[in-house]
Amino acid sequence: MEKFAVAGLRTLCIATARIEPSRWEQLEAEYQRLATITWSCWRHSHRGQAAGGVPATINDLLLAGIRIWVLTGDKLETAINIGYSCRLLQSGMEVRTLTGSGLDDVRSKVAALQSWVGGLEGSSKEPALVVEGEALAWAGRPELRAEFLEVCLQCRTVICCRVSPKQKSDVVRYVREALPTAVTLAIGDGANDVPMIQESHVGVGLKGKEGLQAAAASDYALAQFRFLKKLLFVHGAWSYHRVTIVILFSFYKNLTLYITSFWFAMASGFSGQVMFEKWTQGLYNVFFTGATPFALGIFDRSCSQENCMRYPQLYKENQGSGRYNFKVFALWMLNGVYHSAIIFGCVALALWHGSVFPNGQVSGLYYLGSTVYSLAVVTVALKAGIEHTAWTGLSHLAIWGSVATYFGFVALSANLYPHVGSNFAEVVGFDWALFGSANFWFLVLLAPLLALTRDLAWTAYRRTCAKTLREEVMEMEKLQRDPSSVLLRNTYKRMTETVRLLGRPLFRRKAPVPVSQSFADNIDQMAAGANN
């Protein structure tokens, strides 16, 4: 075996183990019992657990719109059988194979596959391709690679068999070059999968009998393949939602405050005068708004863990860059500039003729700056409240506690002058002047409301008239209702639209429309969940 391994040969070893008759009878009886269950939803769930959850996980990944390619060293027949057993290849697919031993031979077969894939457009059949290792070597050459990838990317499933570790990494690289915006994930359990794992954007290694090489070289290590579902549908979806909102909100809150200095510079003739007290200005991102992005990035989520695992269709909204792209980023930044203009404009109009305090003194520069600063802090906190979707006690503490921290700092700093020297000399007694002013509290109530009117209107429209599937499920969660009906209604709408585009009636009296096995299984699972 060592000599064969050094020569690069794959060796099949057959081993036996003695099992006590009582133990074998127990295992066989349990498996036969599970195999004879008639309800499809229970059969698939229980047998999937007995088989490690691989078929069920692959089926859910397909339902989530994820393209799955299998790169294996097994021979052609074995790879096809494994594809059917793990439900990667299904009865609703038309499977073709690509084999060949020369460039011209493979070129002609790729051209035939192009015609085959084009002929399936508008058909109920989905294309699936099985590629043999030698043919993959010829198809991966520069003069044929583009045509080969064009066929593969139009297939629902691609299986590459009899491939070497180098070929596995090459296939991942081909896809990354052909689709620069796509995100690739490679999962493997052995040392021969390490090049593939390292070539992909996200590498996942399985700890098992094949050793720890794949797990050590990966970004995430899993104990079982079925855990990939939770990694993607729960942690992946939540992390994408949280990272995008943290990035967008962090830039927005800084623009909301510091662009007001630009409006003040225009009003003061670009004199260079600063309207904020230096300590207050420096602590904006540290204390007064520092905890808000953490609340959004730690506690915020889109849907509950149970529904993310139960309905793979929800993952489709996380694919692509719909939540974070140049357009979304630009709109958030323009919104920050807009809020800063509303805040400074309201303060400038209110203090256009000055403000007189009860002791006879009039407002000055730091009164203007502190009012603008206070309105920015309150507006940013309210904006975070609008965007936050999963409130917890710590979320309330982080968001509203930031506002309370700022007002507490104003009161504290105004009374520290006798104890800390001249650092706070310009704000002595300033807390009574600010908090005792009716203009200040009027602006606190008016300016944030004016600034956020557009945000509230857009949020109300989006959550009533333009709800996404995920937002509909979130609404059902708040009402403590089962979202199965929402998923079924959206599935029916997609079926109706697809059939309409194909020019076929949805229902026929003589011959019913064929339904794929994966769709039927998913309907059974959702119906069972609704009954529960």
264 has pLDDT over 90: yes
Reading the block at residue 389, the tokens are 């979707």
pLDDT in tens, 144-201: 999 999 999 999 899 999 999 999 999 999 999 999 888 999 999 888 899 999 999 9
Is 31 part of any domain? Answer: no
Both 371 and 453 in one domain: the answer is: yes
Q: Which residue has the higher pLDDT, 61 or 352?
A: 61
* pLDDT at residue 37, as a whole number: 55
Confidence tier at 381 by pLDDT (50, 70, 90): very high
Is 143 part of any domain? Answer: yes
How far is 130 from 59, CA to CA, in rounded Å?
Answer: 18
Both 118 and 139 in one domain: the answer is: yes
Confidence tier at 207 by pLDDT (50, 70, 90): confident
Domain range spanning residue 67?
54-229
pLDDT in tens, 231-240: 999 999 999 9
* pLDDT at residue 416, as a whole number: 73
Is 75 part of any domain? Answer: yes
Domain containing residue 102: CATH number: 3.40.50.1000
Q: Considering the chain, what is the average pLDDT of its residues?
A: 83
Return binding residues for ATP. Answer: 10, 72-74, 162, 168, 192-193
Both 326 and 415 in one domain: the answer is: yes
Q: Which residue has the higher pLDDT, 463 or 254?
A: 254
Is 472 part of any domain? Answer: no
Q: Using a pLDDT cut of 90, give the percent of the chain over it.
A: 45
Q: Using a pLDDT cut of 70, give the percent of the chain over it.
A: 84
Both 253 and 216 in one domain: the answer is: no
Q: Which residue has the higher pLDDT, 3 or 501?
A: 3
Q: How many residues does the chain have?
A: 532
Q: What angle do CA 109, 114, 117 make, to 5 degrees?
A: 120
User: 3-state class of 180 per DSSP?
Assistant: coil
Confidence tier at 521 by pLDDT (50, 70, 90): low
Reading the block at residue 144, the tokens are 């044929």
Q: 466, 498, 514 — which closes off a domain?
A: 466
* pLDDT at residue 452, as a whole number: 96
Mean pLDDT of 224-236: 93
Q: Which residues pair with 95 in a beta bridge?
A: 128
Mean pLDDT of 120-141: 89
Return binding residues for Mg(2+). Answer: 189, 193
Residue among 178, 120, 172 at smallest CA distance from 149 = 178
Return binding residues. Answer: 10, 72-74, 162, 168, 189, 192-193
Residue among 74, 118, 66 at smallest CA distance from 94 = 118
Both 114 and 153 in one domain: the answer is: yes
2 has pLDDT over 70: yes
Is 316 part of any domain? Answer: yes
* pLDDT at residue 478, as a whole number: 80
Both 211 and 267 in one domain: the answer is: no
Strands 126-132 and 157-161: parallel
Query: CA distances (Å), 184 to each of 69, 154, 194, 203, 238, in order?
Result: 10, 16, 15, 9, 18
Both 273 and 404 in one domain: the answer is: yes
Residue among 222, 142, 135 at smallest CA distance from 185 = 222
* pLDDT at residue 124, as a whole number: 79
* pLDDT at residue 91, as a whole number: 81
Confidence tier at 449 by pLDDT (50, 70, 90): very high
506 has pLDDT over 50: no
Is 286 part of any domain? Answer: yes
Q: 466, 485, 511 — which closes off a domain?
A: 466
From the CA atom positions of the chain, what is the Rg in Å? Answer: 31
Asked if 126 and 46 count as a contact pair (C-beta separation under 8 A), the reply is no
Q: What is the tally of structural domains in the chain?
A: 2
* pLDDT at residue 401, as a whole number: 94
Both 336 and 457 in one domain: the answer is: yes
Is 345 part of any domain? Answer: yes
User: 3-state class of 153 per DSSP?
Assistant: helix
Number of neighbouring beta carbons within 10 Å of residue 292: 28
Both 94 and 108 in one domain: the answer is: yes
Mean pLDDT of 341-356: 88
Residue among 140, 104, 128 at smallest CA distance from 516 = 128
Q: Which residue has the higher pLDDT, 42 or 310?
A: 310
Both 131 and 268 in one domain: the answer is: no
* pLDDT at residue 360, as a whole number: 64
The residue written with tokens 């090459």 in the block is: 170
Mean pLDDT of 86-104: 89
Q: 443, 466, 489 — which closes off a domain?
A: 466
Both 214 and 354 in one domain: the answer is: no
Both 207 and 219 in one domain: the answer is: yes
* pLDDT at residue 261, as a whole number: 93
Residue 484 CA from chain centroid, whole number = 21
114 has pLDDT over 70: yes
419 has pLDDT over 70: no
Is 4 part of any domain? Answer: no
Mean pLDDT of 453-457: 94
